[in-house]
Amino acid sequence: MMVADVKAREDVKFLFSDPKGMEDAVNGFMGMFDREVFDAVVADGMYGCAMAGVIAAKLGRGFIASCHGKVPAAAVKKGMKVVVICSGLTDGKDVLDIIHDAESKGVTVLRAGFVFEDLSAGARKNKVLKGYPFEALVSF
């Protein structure tokens, strides 16, 4: 299964279990972030953490896993620049919690990436992430 074949949230597990699909997903994220200048990737969710780890390693950046919408204070330094990778974008509130928590610790969030975006949940329409550029590998 390739990125273009993902039509629903349930398909993501098949994308990641296929070596060619995983490579396709990694290439998609590389295209999102390879021009950014940042110190670390902040990740959330099972698929987001999988992608973030690979992207951080490929780009020679740090990896920080968030937990319950919080970025571990010991893992960040004031003035750091980060990108955020999450499993999915639904209403946007979860990723906004992560972004605000990172910013409260003096971190600059440059952009966010999602494995999938569920358009019916309304984050894009409601502009909940206004001011934060973001992309998703797939939208449905």
Q: Which two tokens stand for residue 84?
A: 């955020």
Q: What is the pLDDT tens value at each position of the chain, 140 positions in all?
A: 999 999 999 999 999 999 999 999 999 999 999 889 999 999 999 999 999 999 999 999 999 999 999 999 999 999 999 999 999 999 999 999 999 999 999 999 999 999 999 999 989 999 999 999 999 999 99
Range 3-139 classified under CATH 3.40.50.2020 = yes
Q: How far apart are CA 65 and CA 136, in angstroms?
A: 19
Distances (CA, A) of 57 to 39, 45, 119: 12, 18, 30
End-to-end, the C-alpha distance of the chain in Å comes to: 16
At which residue do the structure tokens 């950014």 appear? 36
Residue type, 106: G
pTM of the model: 0.93
Ordered by start, the domain boundaries in the chain are 3-139
Torsion angle of the four alpha carbons 105, 51, 37, 74, in this order, in degrees rounded to the nearest 10: 30
Contact (Cβ atoms closer than 8 angstroms) between residue 64 and residue 82 = yes
pLDDT of residue 35: 86
